[in-house]
Structure 1
């Protein structure tokens, strides 16, 4: 017998890579077992999009973030200004039509400041909905960027918006690995309830008997900024194939710029022992078929590594204020979960050496909580059941802010 499912509106904007998308889709698919989920997708739609259960996908006019940290339109029909105006109206119209019991916003206000113009109207509409006010939650990864020039001001602004409009923060991390206060330091203490879900891992992929592990798998998430790693990997492969006939597979990722992909294709022609793939539906089966992994250190890449238990060398992506990956890599290396190569040391020769050394590395069985998707479903159900209590308790706080 079908049972009633509360309506849940989930907003996610991915820009540089696929990390936010993959984590949000993993959550959406898990949530769709108990909720009717409408997914507001703000970025380019990746290949191999897969949904399950009661899940509706609404693709907004796609926006991305350039290397200059400015928004750009990923649809030639619209300027950034036009896309933002359309998105804002679509989001508000969807909220009005859906009247969700839960609104789940990924990252904002801890990031995506440039999209405040479409998210604050949504939050205000939910806040004003006195007849059926939804539970409003924020979905956060394990580590926040904390290298901005105005970091203190940014954190205080995020804290104020959170305390004003949100009923809870869901941090998708194991607190033994990372806590929000490690990378978020507002001037005033956060009052909004904070809940750790554990890491959101995609779950082991069921299948036939797995083949023996062999060779090195090189990947860089969506691939948008993977070209330097792939170039070094080609050089490392030439060295290690000549020395030890060690095979390598490179998965470029769907967002690797076309010029970089064509360079890879041209350079790999005639290279024995090398397999080049543009993208794959899921990384975990490939990881479980290879004996070693070389990758960047995005959230979802790490989840795949930990679940597959593949000995891994991570080369974190670092650029400007984007220090999240190197923080994650250092923590993982300290726990004995991965080996790390600083990106400043990335050369073909150095990578070849570290790959050979990686064969002697055994990851430490960590016991980190990887059940974040299921725990998120349970926690939202519990919060929704106690929503009236939560809202009643928050009234004095909101009234004070409204003055």
Structure 2
């Protein structure tokens, strides 16, 4: 079996039968790009290694249609929900209340489960889904004999906060419903469930896969990038951009204050940055010869691969891309509403995988950001060693490890269990 994951479109389709294995991936997607990009990487890897299978991603992402999926992968978009800066959830588009939106999402997820009848289900991050919307479907899946997998990024939050959050939601009890728990990271770097009680009830289900290596996608012409990408440049990415205003402001101010910064920078705002802030930043960037910008690039891997080095906030997917394309990186993590990015960045800095620079406004250490502090970091960045020089064993084994772990369910040409539509159980 080959695990050289590529991201190409237009390849010859493998003949498929109605009884080939099926995979459903659930992603609640309330904020940013992280969840859908992680699920997309896993889905594309699975069909690259088991070309006869079908994968459906159920997602609330408003930008899922912007991404490229391999043959055998499709998606169902459920009504979106946004997480506000104060932690509240609200419907993204619908003019109905949150409760009605959750009920609608719950019914839609249940219908996909009943109709698609997956053999394997991978649930991204939330054991019971958003506000418990996945619970009815999990019960159906258990009765039908599906293999249910909880997929977790390397860091969720600080242990005490995760314990309280999962205790209140019922997520801890729901771990009993899962056959496997895949952690997309290394045990030696971080153990995201270490703070939970009753470890003996689920510890034997946990498998650390390694991080998810990303491939360079095939460009779709026309593929015109700004002028500065023709030579060495720094890629600045705040991910989805909804919480990246501070990072971008700090980088722009550094170039405004210090024209001696050697490498130019391309700033990619992300799809969730407000139009007003994007306009303000674009006006400032236009006055600085060493800066250019883009709004949103769904195939950010292409730019990451071109860049000499990277400045980012440190979300899981960006971290995977930095490792995959072996780029010197400066991580400026957020610390609110959770410490996930800061924990990851500090562990990675300790292992000499990346450099870290804390935002004093984010941490509360100051009310202003020093442009010259960022300028010094930008001048030093091109000289740091790439992550590969840290020699961390098994660092990027995640995608092949997932495929191997699911081989017993996906490698056969027909489904390994009785089809639910032929069984007496209807859900």
Counterparts of residues 46-195 of structure 1 (less than 5 Å): 46=64, 48-109=66-127, 114-116=130-132, 118-127=133-142, 129=143, 132-146=144-158, 151-152=163-164, 154=166, 157-163=170-176, 165-182=177-194, 184-191=195-202, 193-195=205-207
Question: Residue 247 of structure 1 corresponds to which residue in structure 2?
Answer: 264
Q: Residue 385 of structure 2 is aligned with which of 362, 385, 390?
A: 362
Counterparts of residues 317-336 of structure 1 (less than 5 Å): 317-320=334-337, 322-336=338-352
For 1:106 and 1:10, the matched residues in 2 are separated by 7
Q: What TM-score comes out, normalization by structure 1 length? A: 0.85
For 2:235 and 2:165, the matched residues in 1 are separated by 41
For 1:274 and 1:194, the matched residues in 2 are separated by 45
For 2:307 and 2:155, the matched residues in 1 are separated by 28
Go from structure 1 to structure 2 and tell me whether the alpha carbon gap of 1:188 and 1:178 turns closer, same or farther (over 3 Å shift): closer
Is residue 152–residue 187 contact of structure 1 (8 Å, CA) maintained in 2?
no
Go from structure 1 to structure 2 and tell me whether the alpha carbon gap of 1:312 and 1:193 turns closer, same or farther (over 3 Å shift): same
> What's the CA shift for 1:223?
0.8
Deviating more after overlay: 324-333 vs 34-43: 34-43
> What's the CA shift for 1:385?
8.2
For 2:253 and 2:165, the matched residues in 1 are separated by 44
Is residue 38–residue 58 contact of structure 1 (8 Å, CA) maintained in 2?
yes
- Helix, strand or coil at the partner of 2:383: coil
Question: Residue 327 of structure 2 corresponds to which residue in structure 1?
Answer: 310
Within the alignment, does 1:380 sit opposite 2:406 as a pair?
yes
Question: Residue 256 of structure 2 corresponds to which residue in structure 1?
Answer: 238
Question: Residue 224 of structure 1 corresponds to which residue in structure 2?
Answer: 242
- Helix, strand or coil at the partner of 2:57: strand
Is residue 305–residue 325 contact of structure 2 (8 Å, CA) maintained in 1?
yes
Within the alignment, does 1:202 sit opposite 2:214 as a pair?
yes
For 1:331 and 1:313, the matched residues in 2 are separated by 13
Is residue 155–residue 186 contact of structure 1 (8 Å, CA) maintained in 2?
no
For 1:36 and 1:235, the matched residues in 2 are separated by 48
> What's the CA shift for 1:205?
4.5
Q: Residue 22 of structure 1 is aligned with which of 37, 44, 63?
A: 37
Deviating more after overlay: 38-47 vs 230-239: 38-47
> What's the CA shift for 1:198?
1.5
For 1:108 and 1:21, the matched residues in 2 are separated by 13
Cα deviation 1:27-51 (Å, max 9, x = unaligned): 1122234221111012322563211
Question: Residue 256 of structure 1 corresponds to which residue in structure 2?
Answer: 273
Q: What TM-score comes out, normalization by structure 2 length? A: 0.81
Is residue 157–residue 192 contact of structure 2 (8 Å, CA) maintained in 1?
no
Q: Which has the higher contact order (CA 8 A, sep 6+)?
A: 2
- Helix, strand or coil at the partner of 1:243: coil
Is residue 82–residue 89 contact of structure 2 (8 Å, CA) maintained in 1?
yes
Where do 5+ consecutive residues of structure 2 fail to align?
1-13, 220-228, 362-368, 418-427
Where do 5+ consecutive residues of structure 1 fail to align?
390-403
For 1:32 and 1:80, the matched residues in 2 are separated by 35
- Helix, strand or coil at the partner of 2:270: coil
Go from structure 1 to structure 2 and tell me whether the alpha carbon gap of 1:46 and 1:266 turns closer, same or farther (over 3 Å shift): farther
Go from structure 1 to structure 2 and tell me whether the alpha carbon gap of 1:213 and 1:284 turns closer, same or farther (over 3 Å shift): farther
Is residue 313–residue 339 contact of structure 1 (8 Å, CA) maintained in 2?
yes
Question: Residue 360 of structure 2 corresponds to which residue in structure 1?
Answer: 344
Is residue 38–residue 55 contact of structure 1 (8 Å, CA) maintained in 2?
yes
Cα deviation 1:6-56 (Å, max 9, x = unaligned): 011111012222111110111112223422111101232256321111112
> What's the CA shift for 1:155?
5.3
Q: Please, what is the CA RMSD of the aligned residues? A: 2.7
> What's the CA shift for 1:206?
6.7
Go from structure 1 to structure 2 and tell me whether the alpha carbon gap of 1:152 and 1:258 turns closer, same or farther (over 3 Å shift): same
